[in-house]
């Protein structure tokens, strides 16, 4: 996942290491040239977790290098960006973070790191720090720098000391030796924490839209999938064949140009150019390493980053992506690769589907929600102010690589979003899967990799089976809308905002699932007990079953429902469960008005 040391004496991969205490963030603090980045990368590799340099997150978020930020915006603006980056990183789990030397100047930053992580101070003598910063050359003309560094050093040393849980002296030591000392400190801090992510477990599921083998693709699910992502991409015959096909103008065959037309030619092997689409945080966590992998396999890599939240999943961002692709000369033999959650995958897929009438597309989902649902099935879309995913199409990826290791770093609130979809798939599949989730709650919440591989693969297989029969929502695929008619309406009326007056997708779907069960009960489709069972399961997974602390008007919700993409001739269609494994599609107009009013009031109040 992270770059290995080039020094063979320091290549310690495979030796013993503890697990990060309680899934915390490990923060490395210290003066300039104390080795935070080199030790951090090595430490992350030993722990099999992502590494992020907070300065990188600042750069990618601002779109400027740090010297430019200081020059154009001033130090205060940089410190504000640095604090914002640290806050975002503090919400993660199982991550190693190298901080900037001045991050401790903020009392808020110091408190945040102490509260949310295990803070390691890499101490270095001032003279050695200056020598390292200057490339090891002790010159007389370095005295002005030393004088400035001395002032900074004197201010920051007490702050490092008061913030750190562990101090490690780095004087005269190679990064490997420092890394070993940090690992021993972690062991002392949490002797009881054992175990690591299991590698090498990979499940492959083939998706064949409506039985069309020419459009089939694989979904790879496993632990450690990202480590070989570039190699997998380079070796993918499907990718090579399809990218060659998409590189030809419409109507042209492999045998030659169409009558009266002019054949296009391309240099180099098709698919040797990749555009990574991501958000700044995910790029720092996983995208940088993936970019290095791709380059080592001979790919030319471009990068398009955007905010990655629901508020940015719109046509404005799409137009920015079009501009980026056109300005960089991207043609139809270039692969667009999304790495991130459902928003990133949706927007990247829509761009891939529409730019030059379609370019090759690969999904690398890094959230549970994206892995079990959004990355599979070919639906790509962006939001409109009136409705979620209103502007979209069907466009399948050439390959999906889902690595459950990426789930270890998700904030708890983000991880839970995918659990609502997992419950949805269980209700579609049947009693066995509901029982499997109910019996694995502890492992699911602990993010046990074996359990996740099994359940993610199972969800993907269910969706693959449905898509093989009905690609475009005219039949059984409407079952996948279970919980989503109300869920999408709730997101729409709250402005697609997480928290702060809005609902996240997973929370909205969880409420929608409970509501669908209540409608089924009150309509006589199922007996009493289903909604209580589903409600209990959702709440044990940490999901809501009703709207709290938000005032939402019932009529506004019903109006938003009428814009649902699965409506036919103005009629809203609901997926309603009779029991696990058996669903029915009912017209909203066929549901008694008193049932709608009462059940909506239950979940909206």
- Over residues 87-135, the pLDDT tens digits come to 999 999 999 999 999 999 999 999 999 989 999 999 999 888 888 877 6
Cα–Cα distance, 248 to 261 (Å, whole number): 12
575 bridge partner residues: 585
Is residue 458 in a domain? no
**171 and 30 inside one domain:** yes
Q: How far apart are CA 319 and CA 29, in angstroms?
A: 40
> Do 83 and 222 belong to one domain?
no
For all residues of the chain together, what is the average pLDDT? Answer: 84
Q: What is the CATH number of the domain that holds 209?
A: 3.40.50.1970
What CATH number should be reported for the domain holding residue 17?
3.40.50.300
Show the domain range for 294: 204-250+269-410
Choose the final residue of a domain: 410, 440, 456: 410
pLDDT of residue 246: 56
End-to-end CA distance of the chain: 46
Q: What is the pLDDT of residue 401?
A: 95
Q: Does 441 map to a domain?
A: no
Q: For residues 378-401, give the mean pLDDT.
A: 91
Check whether residue 129 and residue 85 sit in a common domain.
yes
pLDDT exceeds cutoff 70 at 596? yes
Of the pLDDT bands very low, low, confident and very high (cuts 50, 70, 90), residue 142 is very low
pLDDT of residue 135: 65
Digit-coded pLDDT (tens) for 155-212: 999 999 889 888 898 988 899 999 988 988 777 665 433 333 333 457 788 898 988 8
* Tokens representing residue 95 in the block: 């991550």
CATH number at 534 reads: 1.20.1090.10
**351 occurs within a structural domain:** yes
Residues 367 and 515 in one domain: no
Model confidence pLDDT, tens digit, residues 330-363: 999 999 999 999 999 999 999 999 999 999 999 9
Would you state the structure tokens that stand for residue 327, as one six-digit string?
A: 């300005």
How far apart CA 388 and CA 565 sit, in angstroms, is 9
Triad 90, 39, 87: Cα angle to 5°: 10
Q: What is the pTM of this model?
A: 0.78
Q: Does 26 lie in the same domain as 64?
A: yes
Residues 373 and 224 grouped into a single domain: yes
Cα–Cα distance measured from residue 512 to residue 483, given in angstroms and rounded to the nearest whole number: 4
Angle at 371 between CA 366 and CA 377, to 5 degrees: 130
Are 357 and 228 within one domain?
A: yes
Are 57 and 281 in contact, with CB atoms under 8 Å apart? Answer: yes
Task: Judge whether 127 and 171 are in contact, CB under 8 Å.
Answer: no
Contact 459, 373 (CB under 8 A): yes
Structure tokens at 154: 């004197």
Q: What is the pLDDT, as a whole number, of residue 269?
A: 41
For tokens 């019996």, name the residue.
439
Question: 193 with 22: CB under 8 angstroms?
Answer: yes
pLDDT of residue 255: 37
For residue 506, give the nearest of 487, 492, 486 by alpha carbon: 487
What pLDDT shows up at residue 568?
62
216 band by pLDDT with thresholds 50, 70 and 90: confident
- Token duo for residue 481: 């809308």
- Do 511 and 402 share a structural domain? no
Check the CA dihedral 139-144-145-147 and report its sign: positive
Report if residue 575 sits inside a domain: yes
Number of domains into which the chain is organized: 3
> Who's near 237: CB < 8 A, 6+ residues apart?
none
Q: Using the structure block, give the residue that is written with the tokens 């990064």.
A: 175
Sequence-ordered strand ranges (E) for 45-201: 51-53, 95-98, 117-123, 166-169
Domain boundary among 370, 389, 410: 410
Pairing verdict, β 117-123 and 217-222: unpaired
Cα dist from 525 to 305, 480, 512, 518, 520, whole Å: 47, 18, 17, 10, 5
Helix (H) or strand (E) holding 292: helix 288-296
Asked, for residue 315, whether it belongs to a domain, the answer is yes
46 and 134, same domain (yes or no): yes
Q: Which of 410, 432, 455 is the last residue of a domain?
A: 410
Separation CA 76–CA 70 (nearest Å): 8
Task: Report the distance separating Cα 234 and Cα 268, nearest Å.
Answer: 13
**Do 402 and 285 share a structural domain?**
yes
Q: Of 88-97, 230-239, 324-333, 462-471, which gets the smallest average pLDDT?
A: 230-239
Handedness of CA 453, 442, 372, 51 (dihedral sign): negative
Would residue 433 count as lying in a domain?
Answer: no
Q: Are residues 105 and 243 in the same domain?
A: no
Q: Please, which pLDDT band fits residue 39 given cuts at 50, 70 and 90?
A: very high
Dist. CA 132–CA 504, nearest whole Å: 46
What's the pLDDT at 120? Answer: 94
What pLDDT shows up at residue 329?
96
3-state secondary structure of 585: strand
Q: What is the pLDDT of residue 149?
A: 80
The Cα–Cα gap between 33 and 153 comes to: 12
Instruction: Measure the CA–CA gap between 377 and 421, rounded to whole angstroms.
Output: 14
Backbone region of residue 581 per phi and psi (left: phi > 0; alpha: psi in -120 to 50; beta: other values): left
Residue 435 belongs to some domain of the structure: no
- pLDDT category of residue 435 using cuts at 50, 70 and 90: very high
| One domain for residues 490 and 381 | no
Indicate whether 406 belongs to any domain. Answer: yes
């Amino acid at each position: 996942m992270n770059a290995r040391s080039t020094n063979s004496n320091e290549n310690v991969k495979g030796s013993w290491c503890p697990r990060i205490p309680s899934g915390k963030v490990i923060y490395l603090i210290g003066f300039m040239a104390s080795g935070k980045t080199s030790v951090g990368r090595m430490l992350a590799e030993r722990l099999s977790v992502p590494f992020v340099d907070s300065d990188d997150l600042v750069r990618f978020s601002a779109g400027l290098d740090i010297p430019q930020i200081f020059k154009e915006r001033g130090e205060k603006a940089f410190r504000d960006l640095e604090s914002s980056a640290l806050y975002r990183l503090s919400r993660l789990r199982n991550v190693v973070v190298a901080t900037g030397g001045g991050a401790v100047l903020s009392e808020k930053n110091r408190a945040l790191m102490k509260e949310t992580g295990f803070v390691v101070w890499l101490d270095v003598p001032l003279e050695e720090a200056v020598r390292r910063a200057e490339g090891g050359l002790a010159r007389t003309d370095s005295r002005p720098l030393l004088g400035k560094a001395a002032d900074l050093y004197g201010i920051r040393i007490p702050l490092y000391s008061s913030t750190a849980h562990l101090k490690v002296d780095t004087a005269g030591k190679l990064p490997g030796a420092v890394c070993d000392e940090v690992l021993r400190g972690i062991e002392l801090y949490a002797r009881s924490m054992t175990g690591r992510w299991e590698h090498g477990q990979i499940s492959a599921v083939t998706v064949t839209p409506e039985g069309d083998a020419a459009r089939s693709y694989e979904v790879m699910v496993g632990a450690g999938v990202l480590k070989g992502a570039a190699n997998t991409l380079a070796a993918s015959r499907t990718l090579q064949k399809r990218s060659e096909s998409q590189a030809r103008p419409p109507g042209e065959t492999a045998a030659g140009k169409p009558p009266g037309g002019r054949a296009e030619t391309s240099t180099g092997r098709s698919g040797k150019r990749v555009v990574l689409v991501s958000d700044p945080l995910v790029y720092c966590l996983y995208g940088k390493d993936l970019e290095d992998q791709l380059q080592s396999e001979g790919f030319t890599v471009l990068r398009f980053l955007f905010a990655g939240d629901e508020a940015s999943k719109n046509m404005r961002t799409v137009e920015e992506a079009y501009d980026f692709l056109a300005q960089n000369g991207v043609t139809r033999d270039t692969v667009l690769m999304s790495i991130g959650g459902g928003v990133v995958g949706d927007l990247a897929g829509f761009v891939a589907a529409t730019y030059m009438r379609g370019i090759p597309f690969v999904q690398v989902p890094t959230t549970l929600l994206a892995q079990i649902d959004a990355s599979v099935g070919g639906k790509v879309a962006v939001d409109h102010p009136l409705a979620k995913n209103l502007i979209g199409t069907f466009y399948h990826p050439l390959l999906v690589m889902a690595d459950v290791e990426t789930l270890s770093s998700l904030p708890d609130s983000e991880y839970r979003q995918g659990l609502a979809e997992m419950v949805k798939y269980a209700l579609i599949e049947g009693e066995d899967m509901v029982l499997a989730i109910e019996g694995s709650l502890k492992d699911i919440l602990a993010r046990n990799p074996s359990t996740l591989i099994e359940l993610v693969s199972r969800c993907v297989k269910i969706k693959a089976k449905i898509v093989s029969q009905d690609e475009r929502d005219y039949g059984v695929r409407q079952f996948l809308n279970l919980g989503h008619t109300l869920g999408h309406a709730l997101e729409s009326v709250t402005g697609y905002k997480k928290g702060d007056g809005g609902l996240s997708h997973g929370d909205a779907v969880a409420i929608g699932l409970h509501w669908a069960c209540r409608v089924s009960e009150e309509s006589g489709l199922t007996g009493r007990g289903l909604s209580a069972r589903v409600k209990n399961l959702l709440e044990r997974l940490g999901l809501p079953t009703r709207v709290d602390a938000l005032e939402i008007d019932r009529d506004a919700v019903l109006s938003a429902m009428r814009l649902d993409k699965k409506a036919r001739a103005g009629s809203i269609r609901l997926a309603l469960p009779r029991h696990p494994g058996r669903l029915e599609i009912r017209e909203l107009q066929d549901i008694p008005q008193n049932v709608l009013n009462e059940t909506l009031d239950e979940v909206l109040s």
